[in-house]
Structure 1
Amino acid sequence: MRPIEALLEIARDEGVTRIFGNPGTTELPLMDALAEAPGLHYVLGLQEASVVAMADGHARASRRTSLVSLHVAAGVANGLIGMLNALRSRTPMVVVAGQQDRRHLVQDPMLSGDLVGLASAAVKRAVEVQHARDLPIVLRRAFALAARPPAGPVLVSVPMDLLAEDAGVAVPARSPVTGPGPADAGEAAALLANADRPVVIAGDGVGRAGAVAELVAVAERLGAAVHHQPMNDGIDFPTGHPLYAGMLAPRNAAVREVLAGHDAALIAGCHAFMPHHYTPGPAVPDGLAVVQVDEDPAEIGRNFAVRHGLTGDLAGTLRALAEHLDGRIPAARERAERLGAAHARARKATEAAARAAYGPAPLDPRAAAHAVAAGLPDGAVVVEEAITAGLLLRAVLRQDLPGSYVHTVGGGLGWGIGAAIGTRMADPDRPVVAVLGDGCAMFGVQGLWSAARYEVPVAFVVMNNGEYRTLKDTLDEGGGPSARHGRYVGMDLGPPAIDWRSAAGAFGIGAVRAGSADELRDAVAGVKDLAAPLLIEAPITGHAADRRAARGAGR
C-alpha cells in the first residue's frame, strides 16, 4: 500500500468521514487521492483558522477525533489559533501538515519551515515523519494520543514527496484501548455525607465524558448547589435544574467568595478553575474539604490541596459515588428544596429585568440575550463566542440536553463561525445558533463562505455594538485615564461601521437586521426551518450608553 493510501485507510478506520482543509502544493498528493476515495469528504475553508474551528465543532458534536489538513509553515501558523483553542478545550484532533519536498529542504526552499517547532506550544505533541514506512504507525499514535485524556490536537508533519512515494507500507490494525475503571469512592462519599454545606463544581470534563446524569444523581443525593466551572465550554449540569446556581466568575477572589460559604466541595472534571483577570490569593479557601474527580491524574491537587483525589472513568466514578450516598443524608431533600426556591427567585428576577429592557434597536444587551434564549427551538445547540453578551446569555439560558451549548475557553477569537458549521455538519438533526460578538466574528468571517458552499443551515447572530466592549469595561474597573475621560484608544469598530448584511452577501449568505427584541426572538425561532445559512444582525447598545445610564442613575 502506498503512503497516501495508508493515510486514507487509517483515517477511515479511525472513524473520519470529513477532512477539513485548505490545500496547497504540498497537499497535491492528498487532493489527487481524494478524487477516488469513497467515504471521505473534503471540507474546504478559505483560511486555516476557520478550517481548524470547523474541525473543533465537528469533533465535539460527533464525539470522534477530527482530521485537519494544513499547508506548510504558513498554514500551520494560521491554524495555530484554532489548535490553541482545541488544546485548551481538550478537543481531540489530528492535524496533518504538508512539509516541503525533502530533496531540497537543505536549500531552505520557499514555504518550508520548522513545523514541529512552530506548532509545539499549541498541541499535545508534534512530530515530522521522515520515512514512508513510519507514516502508518505515527498516524495511529497520533489518533490514540489525541483522544487520550486530556484530549487535544496532535500535529503530524508529512513531506509531500513522502506521500507520493511508490514504496509499499504496512498499515497496523487499530488497537482499541479501554481506560481505567471507576475509582473507589467510599471514603470520598463519607466525607461529603458528613458535610453540612456541600457544594458541587461541574467541570467540562463531565460533559466530555458524557457523565452529566451521574453528576446530577450525586448532587441530588447531597442536596448541594451546583456551579459550572468558570467560562464552561459545554453543558456539564442541566442549567434548568433547581440545584443549578450558575457559573463561577473567572477570578480567584470570586470563586473563593462562593466556596467560603461551604464546608466541603466536590470538584468534578474541572481544569484548575483557570482565572482570567488576576486577583490575589487562591481560588480555594483554607480549610475547605475537597473531593476532586478527574480522568487526568495530573489534575488532582494541581492548584489546591484535596482530601480525596479520584482518577478513572468519570461516569463510573460519579455513579459509584451516587450509590454510596443513596439514602445516606436525611437533610438532602430539605436542602434541595431550600436551594431550589432561592435559585427560582434569582432566575425570576433576572428574567424580569431582561424582559423589562425589551424595545426597539439598538437593543439593550440583556434584552438581546434573553430574546435569543427565548427563541431557541427545542433541541437547539448554541455555539457562543460573544465576550460580554455571552455572559448575559449564560444567565438566561435554560439548557438541559448535553451538547446544547458550545464555547471555547481557549480565547482565540474567530472560532465561533467555523465551530458552528462543524457542529451542524456532525449533527444535522439539531438546529444550531451561533451567537457572536461583532469583534469575534470579524476574526473568522471567512468561515461564512464555507457555510454557503456546503449549504449548512446555521443562524449566525452577530451582537453588534461596534466596539471591543470587554476592554472598555475592564479599563473602567481600573479607574485610569481612559475611564476618567471616556476616551478608549483602539477599541472602536467604527467609523466606518461594519455593514454586516453586505458582508454576509459577499460570501453568498442571506441576512436580516433585527429591529426589536421581539424580531430577534422570532428570527432565532426560525432556525428550525432554515435550509441555508442566515446571518442575523442584532444591533445592541454599547459602553457609552451604559455610562450615560449610570450617570443618570447617580452612580
Structure 2
Amino acid sequence: MPTVRQLSHDFLERRGLTTIFGNPGSNELPFLTDLSSSFRYVLGLHEGVVVGMADGYAQATGQPVLVNLHAAAGSGNAMGALTNAVHSRSPLVITAGQQVRSAIGLEAMLANTDATQLMRPLVGWAGEPSCAADVPRALAQAVFEAELQRRPTYLSVPYDDWGVELDANSAVTLDRQVWLGSAPNEAQLGMIADRVKAARSVGLVLGGEIDAGGLFDRAVALAEHLQAPVWMAPSPYRLSFPNRHRLFRGVLSAGIGHVASELTGLDLILVLGAPVFRYHQHVPGPYLPEGSRLIQVTEDAGAATRAPMGEAVVADPAAVIDALMSRVPVSPHAQGLDFAPNPQPAGGDGALHPEQVFAALRATQPADTSYVVESTSTNTAWWRQVDLRMQGSYFWPAAGGLGFGMPAAVGVAMGRPSRPVVAVIGDGSANYGITALWSAAHYNVPVTFVVLRNGTYGALRWFGGLLGTPDVPGTEIPGLDFTRIAEGYGVPATAITEADDLRAVLKTSPAGPRLIQVDTHLTTPE
C-alpha cells in the first residue's frame, strides 16, 4: 500500500509543485526523503529568504509554489517575509514539520503548539491533519485554497505521519480539480459602461492585479481607447502601466488627502485590480474629490468589502476591460502610442545621485529586464528615470517589509529565466535578506544586485521630518562593505563611485550573479 509520503509526492508532482523552497529541520526530513528526480529543492539560509525567493518565483510564474519550513521557529522567522506575499497575493503553499503526534500535547522540543493559529491572520487558510490518513486531502486543500484565494496557506504535518501506509480510498485525492469562476454579470457590465459613457472626465487607477493577471497590454489599449489619464495605485508592487506613456500621470501618493487632491477634476474614477486605497503616511482629508464617483473592480473580495467609499464589483478586471472596449465608443482624441522622454538626471559631487544610477540602468539594460526594487528613499528618482514598457518589469515588497528584494530577485530569475533580472537594493534593506546571495551563487542564478550605499535608513530620515521627530537614534548604518560580504557568499562584487565606470560595468553580461555597490547621495521619496 502507498505511504502518506508517496501519495503526497505524487499529488504535488501532478499539480506541478515540483520546485520546493526551504530550510529544513529535523521535523521536515521524513517529508523530504525519497523525492523523485522531477523535484528541485532550493535551499535558503534563512526562512525569510526562503519565503522571499518563493514569493518572487510565484509572481514570475503565476503559479502556486511549495515552501517547506521548520516547525514553529522556522515559521516564525518567515512571518516578516510572509506579509509581503500576502499583499502581493502570491499563492504560496507553506508546509511545516510538526513533532510526532504523541509528543505535541507534551509540548516536546520542536512541537508547534496550536499550529493552525501560528500564521493567522496572515494566511488565507491553515490546517493540521486530524490523522495520518487525512494528510493527502489536507495537502490538496492547502493547494486549492492558495490557488483560489491567491493567498499563502499553511499546513502543519506531524512527521510520523509520512511513513504511514494508506488504503486505496486515499488515492482519490490525486485526481481532484477545483476551479473558480468570477465573471461580472450583464447588469454590472452595463452599469460600468453606462457610467463611463456618461462621465465628463474619466480617470483610471490601476493596481498590481493588472500585471499579475496578464492584463498589462489590454489596460494600455483601454486607456488609449478612452484617452483617459492613468495613475498607478499607491505603493505599487507591480508595474500596471508604462511609466513614460503620455497618458501616465504617476503613482498616487499614499495619504488620504493627497489622493483626493491628485484626482481632482475627475467625475468618475475607475479602479482596476487594486485596493481602494492602500494608504501609508497619515494625511487627513476627504476620500475623494468633491463631485467624484468611484467604481472598483477587483478579484480580491477583502479589498472590495473593506473599502470606505465607492462601488465595487468582485470579478476579474479582464471582463470589464473587454466590455468597455466594445461598448464605449473610441475617443475622438485617440492617438498612437507615444512616450515622453526622461528628464536629465540630477548630479552630485563625491557620490552619484540615484537618478544617475537609474539612468545608467535605463541606458544599458535590455528592454525586457525585470527589476526587483527595495530602496524606499529613492522612489521619486526611480520613477523619474526608468522607462518600463513591458509586463513583468517591476516587483516591490507589497507590504513594505524589508528583506524582500534580494531573495525575490533570485526567485524571479529562477521562475522566468528568459529575462534579465536586476535587483536595486538600498544598503539598509540589503541586510535583511543578505543570505540570498549564497543561494544566488550556489544555484548560479544570473542576477545583477545593485546596492545603493548612503550609510543611512533614508526612508526613516524622511519620515522623521514628516512626523516632526528628526532626532531619533538608529538611522545611521556606516561602515558596511557589501563587496566583501558578497565575495564571502561567493558572488563577485565591484565598488563604483563614477557614472562612466557604472555604465561600463553594467554593459557586461556575466553568466551568474554579481553585486555592484554604488555610493549615492541621500534622497527622499517626497
Q: Same fold (TM over 0.5)?
A: yes
2:326 is aligned to: 323
Map of 1:168-187 to 2, 5 A cutoff?
168=167, 169-172=170-173, 173-184=175-186, 185-187=189-191
Matched, 1:242 2:231: no
User: For 2:119, what is the secondary structure of its paired residue?
Assistant: helix
- The one-letter code matched in structure 2 to 1:140 is A
Map of 1:152-191 to 2, 5 A cutoff?
152-168=151-167, 169-172=170-173, 173-184=175-186, 185-191=189-195
Match of 1:387 among 367, 371, 376: 376
Map of 1:250-269 to 2, 5 A cutoff?
250-269=254-273
Contact 2:72 2:111 (8 Å CA) reproduced: yes
Match of 2:310 among 302, 306, 318: 306
1:426-475 deviation digits (Å, cap 9, x = unpaired): 11111100000111110111111101100101001111111101111111
- Judged with a 3 Å threshold, the aligned counterparts in structure 2 of structure 1 residues 112 and 361 are, in CA distance, closer, same or farther, namely farther
- The one-letter code matched in structure 2 to 1:225 is P
Give distance in 2, aligned partners of 1:318 and 1:459: 36
User: For 1:107, what is the secondary structure of its paired residue?
Assistant: coil
Matched, 1:516 2:498: yes
Map of 1:72-221 to 2, 5 A cutoff?
72-114=71-113, 115-149=115-149, 151-168=150-167, 169-172=170-173, 173-184=175-186, 185-221=189-225
1:550 is aligned to: none
User: For 2:30, what is the secondary structure of its paired residue?
Assistant: helix
Map of 1:447-458 to 2, 5 A cutoff?
447-458=436-447
2:58 is aligned to: 59
1:551 is aligned to: none
Could you tell me the TM-score, scaled by structure 2's length? 0.93
Give distance in 1, aligned partners of 2:45 and 2:128: 25
Contact 1:193 1:222 (8 Å CA) reproduced: no
2:424 is aligned to: 435
1:239-296 deviation digits (Å, cap 9, x = unpaired): 2322111111111111111112211111101112211111113432343122221223
User: For 1:519, what is the secondary structure of its paired residue?
Assistant: helix
Give distance in 1, aligned partners of 2:83 and 2:466: 29
2:236 is aligned to: 232
2:357 is aligned to: 368
Contact 2:85 2:398 (8 Å CA) reproduced: no
- The one-letter code matched in structure 1 to 2:82 is M
CA RMSD of aligned residues (A): 2.0
1:204-257 deviation digits (Å, cap 9, x = unpaired): 111121122222222112211101111211121222322111111111111111
- Judged with a 3 Å threshold, the aligned counterparts in structure 2 of structure 1 residues 118 and 176 are, in CA distance, closer, same or farther, namely closer
User: For 2:455, what is the secondary structure of its paired residue?
Assistant: coil
Contact 1:284 1:304 (8 Å CA) reproduced: no
Contact 1:360 1:517 (8 Å CA) reproduced: no
User: For 1:492, what is the secondary structure of its paired residue?
Assistant: coil
Higher helix fraction (1 or 2): 1
Contact 2:297 2:316 (8 Å CA) reproduced: no
User: For 1:238, what is the secondary structure of its paired residue?
Assistant: coil
User: For 2:204, what is the secondary structure of its paired residue?
Assistant: strand
- The one-letter code matched in structure 1 to 2:515 is L
2:25 is aligned to: 24
Contact 1:239 1:400 (8 Å CA) reproduced: yes
1:145-182 deviation digits (Å, cap 9, x = unpaired): 11224x11000001111112233442411314142334
- The one-letter code matched in structure 2 to 1:241 is H
Deviation of 1:388 after TM superposition, in Å, equals 1.0
- Judged with a 3 Å threshold, the aligned counterparts in structure 2 of structure 1 residues 83 and 187 are, in CA distance, closer, same or farther, namely same
Map of 1:270-349 to 2, 5 A cutoff?
270-300=274-304, 302-306=306-310, 309-327=312-330, 329-330=331-332, 332-333=333-334, 344=340, 348=342
Deviation of 1:301 after TM superposition, in Å, equals 5.9
Q: Which runs of 5+ in 2 are unaligned?
A: none
1:552 is aligned to: none
Give distance in 1, aligned partners of 2:444 and 2:172: 36
Identity across the alignment (%): 33
User: For 1:300, what is the secondary structure of its paired residue?
Assistant: helix
The size of the alignment, in residue pairs, is 517
Give distance in 1, aligned partners of 2:366 and 2:516: 16
Contact 2:207 2:232 (8 Å CA) reproduced: yes
Give distance in 2, aligned partners of 1:492 and 1:73: 33
Give distance in 2, aligned partners of 1:283 and 1:538: 40
User: For 1:408, what is the secondary structure of its paired residue?
Assistant: coil
User: For 1:317, what is the secondary structure of its paired residue?
Assistant: helix
- Judged with a 3 Å threshold, the aligned counterparts in structure 2 of structure 1 residues 28 and 302 are, in CA distance, closer, same or farther, namely closer
- Judged with a 3 Å threshold, the aligned counterparts in structure 2 of structure 1 residues 413 and 78 are, in CA distance, closer, same or farther, namely same
Give distance in 2, aligned partners of 1:304 and 1:223: 28
- The one-letter code matched in structure 2 to 1:179 is G
Could you tell me the TM-score, scaled by structure 1's length? 0.89
Give distance in 2, aligned partners of 1:374 and 1:488: 39
Map of 1:524-543 to 2, 5 A cutoff?
524-526=506-508, 529-542=509-522
Give distance in 2, aligned partners of 1:383 and 1:263: 35
1:549 is aligned to: none
User: For 1:77, what is the secondary structure of its paired residue?
Assistant: helix
Give distance in 2, aligned partners of 1:203 and 1:31: 38
Contact 1:384 1:390 (8 Å CA) reproduced: no
User: For 2:431, what is the secondary structure of its paired residue?
Assistant: helix
- The one-letter code matched in structure 2 to 1:33 is D
Q: Which runs of 5+ in 1 are unaligned?
A: 547-555
Contact 2:144 2:178 (8 Å CA) reproduced: no
User: For 1:538, what is the secondary structure of its paired residue?
Assistant: strand
- Judged with a 3 Å threshold, the aligned counterparts in structure 2 of structure 1 residues 171 and 78 are, in CA distance, closer, same or farther, namely farther
Give distance in 1, aligned partners of 2:305 and 2:111: 42
User: For 1:388, what is the secondary structure of its paired residue?
Assistant: helix
Deviation of 1:64 after TM superposition, in Å, equals 0.6
Of stretches 55-64 and 514-523 in structure 1, the one that deviates more from structure 2 is 514-523
Give distance in 1, aligned partners of 2:303 and 2:512: 42
1:88-126 deviation digits (Å, cap 9, x = unpaired): 111111000101111222221112233322211221121
- The one-letter code matched in structure 1 to 2:318 is A
- The one-letter code matched in structure 2 to 1:279 is V
Deviation of 1:361 after TM superposition, in Å, equals 4.8
Contact 1:53 1:418 (8 Å CA) reproduced: yes
